[in-house]
């Protein structure tokens, strides 16, 4: 088995030829990868922001966190359209900040996506058990089935994986639109009762501290959109497809988040909305329509499956990249000779996902994922400033240049700081434990593992020497 290379290769490999990932994806696949990972956030998870701060707090953070992710999408589009390599932000960190940062960023990605995959599988299992209502039926079999089947799908090939994602993501998104128009959103009081459910007394039950706390789960509305960059080596035209697919995905999600909040807050008391694992499904139940209930049941299952599918895809590529650069043993950098997928990375992460699906609850798995995502966004805000300083506009060819620099970076960093505080309110020990983990593995990498890494070979972009070096 050989290391991967970046080429546009045929699907069969001659003896002795280097095996590479295939460039077969277009903008629709990029959209499907990004929205597919994230859309489950509308079906579950965002509503824990209601639990932490009330319905109005969830709406406020939906907008503010939407700003954070718009910044993420803008920044990511510029850097990724310029650094088009598997691993996404990992490859960015390697070329712009340095190897240790890259090692950490890859781990953020692997944890954020693996724990998101775990959350998705738990959601599928819990929903099926709830709807079945059978005594003694447990979620574990459905959780295992979801994870294993999707890992197999990813093993078999990226094009089939993302074609499946495109279809099921579209169905799950259309389900939200059908629910939205079925409850006559233009006519409050007919089906929707926003004014009765959100009163001056319960709009912000914990006051403004609750709004701050709600930032924690507000991230779940959009977490994972940056995963579009993981497909950089498998996209036919990265400079065009990645910005286009990512920005289209972000617009899709902003519209979906607004519709989701409006319908759910108008159909469910805030205490229940903050408690349930299936807010859109329960909103459909509250309408009394059997059709909507069935539709949103399948919407929830498909959104979770699409998300887990994309997460396996992204986590495996980040892990694969670590092996390819010798940050981890090169064994992980193998590409399947027939399916052209990073199959060893896919298989290695499978038992880890299964183990956490058994030992963690939904909100704990979500928090693990959010914490890794948050550390990654902090990196991105600093990364773009270093990128512009080391290679100013005009010094290298950029596929896309985002406007208003450095405002998006400053907005992103500011919202990250607020979200750290929000996580601290209720989940501080997990944040500290996770950061200590990253400190320990960083020390291990810097003082031990890095001696196995080639130096100059890590820098693969055809750029001039960075300013200041």
Partner 1 sequence: MPKYIPPEQPKVMQVIDIAFIVVAIFVALWLPLKLGLAGVSKAIDKIENPTWESLGQNPTMVGFWEKLGYDPTTAHDIIQNKFHYTWDITTLLVMVVVVVGYFIFLFRASDKEYREVIDEKFGDKK
Could you say which residues in the range 198-217 bind partner 1, by CB under 8 A? 199, 201-202, 205-206, 209-210, 213
Exactly one of 382, 385, 396, 410 binds partner 1 (CB under 8 A); that residue is 382
CA dist 281 and 31 (Å) reads: 24
Give residue for tokens 């994986």. 161
Q: Work out how close the CB of 452 gets to partner 1 at its nearest, in angstroms, rounded to a whole number.
A: 5
Could you tell me which of 240, 243, 218 has the C-alpha nearest to residue 228?
Answer: 243
Stretch that binds partner 1, among 71-79, 90-98, 225-233, 391-399 (CB under 8 A): 90-98
The whole-angstrom separation of Cα 412 and Cα 273 is 28
Q: Which is nearer to partner 1, 10 or 465 (CB)?
A: 465
**Of the residues 140, 236, 240, 449, which one makes contact with partner 1 according to CB under 8 A:** 449
Check residue 352 for interaction with partner 1 (CB under 8 A): yes
d(CA 240, CA 26): 9
- Is residue 317 within 8 Å of residue 230, measured between CB atoms? yes
Q: Which stretch binds partner 1 (CB under 8 A): 3-11, 177-185, 228-236, 352-360?
A: 352-360
Q: Counting contacts by CB under 8 A, is residue 403 touching partner 1?
A: no
Q: Report phi then psi at 94, rounded to 5.
A: -65, -40
For residues 223 and 54, give the distance between their C-alpha atoms in angstroms, rounded to a whole number.
20
Candidates 97, 280, 353, 357: give the one binding partner 1 (CB under 8 A).
97
Return the range that interacts with partner 1 (CB under 8 A); candidates 71-79, 255-263, 266-274, 392-400: 266-274
Report if residue 439 touches partner 1, rule: CB under 8 A: yes
Q: DSSP characters for 135-202?
A: TT--SHHHHHHHHHHHHHHHHH-HHHHHHHHHHHHHHHHHHHHHHHHHT-TTSTTTS--HHHHS-TTT
In the complex, the smallest distance separating the C-beta of residue 14 from partner 1, rounded to whole angstroms, is 28
Interface residues for partner 1 in 216-245 (CB under 8 A)? none
Residues 152-171 that bind partner 1 (CB under 8 A): none
Cβ proximity to partner 1: between 262 and 272 the closer is 272
Residue 236 or 449: which CB sits closer to partner 1?
449
Whose structure tokens read 């939904």?
Answer: 362
3-state secondary structure of 463: coil
Selected binder of partner 1 within 141, 177, 355, 407 (CB under 8 A) = 355
Sign of CA dihedral 69, 440, 318, 426: negative
In contact, 117 and 368? CB cutoff 8 Å: no
At 80, list the tokens.
């990724």
Using CB under 8 A, which of 363, 366, 376, 400 touches partner 1? 363
Kindly state whether residue 268 participates in binding partner 1, applying the rule CB under 8 A.
yes
Of residues 35 through 74, those in contact with partner 1 by CB under 8 A are 51-52
Q: Please give the DSSP secondary-structure letter assigned to residue 465.
A: P
Compare residues 245 and 274 and give the one whose CB is closer to partner 1. Answer: 274
> Does 436 interact with partner 1 (rule: CB under 8 A)?
yes
Closer to partner 1 by Cβ: residue 176 or 434: 434
Handedness of CA 88, 92, 95, 101 (dihedral sign): negative
Under the criterion CB under 8 A, does residue 456 sit at the interface with partner 1? yes
Q: Which of residues 271-310 bind partner 1 (CB under 8 A)?
A: 271-272, 275, 282, 285-286, 288
User: CA-CA distance, 157 to 93, in Å (whole number)?
Assistant: 27
């Amino acid at each position: 088995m050989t290391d991967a290379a970046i080429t546009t290769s045929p699907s069969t490999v001659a003896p002795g030829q280097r095996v590479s990932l295939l460039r077969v994806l277009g903008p629709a696949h990029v959209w499907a990868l990004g929205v597919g990972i994230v859309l489950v956030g509308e079906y579950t998870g965002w509503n824990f922001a209601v639990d932490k701060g009330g319905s109005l707090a969830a709406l406020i953070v939906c907008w503010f966190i939407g700003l954070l992710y718009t910044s993420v999408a803008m920044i990511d589009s510029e850097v990724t359209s310029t650094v088009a390599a598997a691993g996404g932000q990992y490859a960015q960190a390697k070329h712009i900040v340095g190897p240790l940062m890259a090692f950490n960023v890859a781990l953020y990605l692997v944890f954020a996506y693996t724990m998101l995959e775990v959350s998705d599988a738990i959601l599928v299992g819990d929903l099926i058990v709830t709807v079945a209502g059978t005594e003694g039926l447990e979620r574990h079999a459905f959780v295992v089935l979801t994870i294993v089947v999707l890992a197999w799908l990813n093993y078999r090939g990226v094009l089939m994986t993302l074609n499946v994602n495109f279809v099921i993501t579209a169905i799950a998104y259309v389900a939200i639109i059908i629910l939205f128009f079925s409850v006559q959103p233009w006519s409050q009081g007919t089906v929707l009762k926003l004014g009765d459910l959100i009163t001056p007394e319960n709009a912000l039950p914990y006051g403004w501290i609750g709004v701050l706390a709600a930032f924690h789960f507000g991230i779940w509305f959009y977490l994972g959109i940056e995963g579009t960059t993981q497909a950089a080596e498998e996209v036919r035209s990265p400079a065009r497809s990645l910005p286009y697919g990512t920005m289209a995905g972000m617009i899709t999600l902003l519209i979906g988040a607004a519709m989701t909040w409006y319908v759910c807050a108008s159909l469910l008391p805030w205490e229940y909305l903050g408690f349930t694992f299936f807010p859109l499904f329960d909103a459909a139940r509250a309408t009394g329509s059997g059709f909507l209930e069935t539709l949103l049941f399948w919407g929830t299952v498909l959104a979770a499956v699409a998300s887990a599918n994309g997460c396996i895809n992204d986590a495996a590529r980040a892990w694969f990249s670590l092996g390819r650069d010798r940050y981890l043993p090169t064994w992980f950098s193998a590409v399947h000779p027939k399916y052209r997928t990073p199959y060893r990375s896919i298989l290695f992460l499978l038992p880890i996902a299964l183990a956490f699906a058994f030992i963690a609850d939904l909100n704990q798995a979500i928090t693990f994922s959010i914490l890794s995502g948050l550390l990654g966004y902090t990196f991105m805000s600093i990364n773009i400033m270093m990128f512009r300083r080391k290679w100013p506009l005009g010094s290298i060819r950029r596929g896309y240049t985002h406007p208003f620099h450095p405002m998006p970076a400053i907005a992103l960093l500011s919202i990250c700081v607020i979200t750290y505080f929000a996580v601290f309110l209720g989940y501080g020990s997990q944040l500290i434990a996770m950061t200590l983990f990253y400190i320990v593995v960083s020390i291990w990498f810097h003082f031990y593992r890095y001696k196995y890494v080639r130096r100059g070979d890590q820098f693969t972009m055809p750029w001039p020497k960075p300013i200041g070096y």
